[in-house]
């Protein structure tokens, strides 16, 4: 069975994601309030994404990992997710080390190399 495609542009529901700026070392007492902020922003915008600017968090540690995991869990329970903006290389490494994956702005998607790209061979290498 086939369907005909209607002429013209496809309709895309493009909603601007909510933003949340995270600054300074966050204490455990502040985590609940930040989770409430994520929940409220998802409900207010209906966008399904909250962009968390993490550039001002300072040196990452397990408290930062705990905060981001709780924000992501809160967002998922509210029908959305969070996206990280400007994570430091140290934060990216720490999140990878503990096995947490987040969508990050400006991060290229991991894909297969384009077709036709071949590795260079050194003289004397055995053929593949």
Q: In this predicted model, what pLDDT tens digit does every residue of 42-53 receive, in sequence order? A: 998 888 999 999
| CA 25 – CA 16 distance, rounded (Å) | 28
Supply the pLDDT for residue 24.
86
Q: pLDDT band at residue 115, thresholds of 50, 70 and 90?
A: low
Top-confidence residue, 108 or 101: 101
| CA 82 – CA 79 distance, rounded (Å) | 11
Q: pLDDT band at residue 13, thresholds of 50, 70 and 90?
A: very low
Q: Are strands 103-104 and 18-23 parallel, antiparallel or unpaired?
A: unpaired
Q: How far is CA 5 from the centre of its chain?
A: 33
CA angle 99, 102, 108 (to 5 degrees): 110
Q: 3-class SS at 97? A: helix
| CA 2 – CA 119 distance, rounded (Å) | 41
- The terminus-to-terminus CA distance of the chain in angstroms comes to 44
The stretch 9-18 carries a mean pLDDT of 56
The stretch 7-23 carries a mean pLDDT of 66
The total number of residues shown for the chain amounts to 128
The stretch 72-94 carries a mean pLDDT of 95
pTM of the predicted structure, to 2 decimals = 0.71
State yes or no: pLDDT of 9 exceeds 50: no
The stretch 1-28 carries a mean pLDDT of 66
Q: 3-class SS at 40? A: helix
Which domains does the chain possess? 18-104 (3.30.750.24)
Q: Contact at 8 Å (CB) between 77 and 38?
A: no
Sheet containing 81-85: which strands, arranged edge to edge?
A: 18-23, 49-56, 81-85, 103-104
């Amino acid at each position: 069975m086939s369907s005909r495609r209607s002429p013209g542009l496809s309709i895309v529901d493009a909603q601007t994601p909510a933003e949340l700026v995270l600054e300074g070392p966050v204490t455990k007492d502040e985590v609940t309030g930040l989770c409430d902020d994520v929940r409220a922003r998802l409900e207010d915008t209906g966008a399904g994404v909250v962009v968390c600017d993490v550039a001002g968090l300072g040196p990452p540690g397990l408290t930062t990992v705990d905060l981001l995991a709780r924000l992501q869990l809160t967002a998922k329970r509210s029908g959305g997710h969070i996206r990280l903006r400007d994570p430091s290389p140290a934060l990216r490494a720490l999140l990878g080390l503990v096995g947490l994956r987040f969508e990050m702005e400006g991060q290229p998607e991991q894909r297969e190399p384009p077709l036709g790209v071949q590795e260079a061979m050194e003289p004397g290498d055995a053929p593949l």
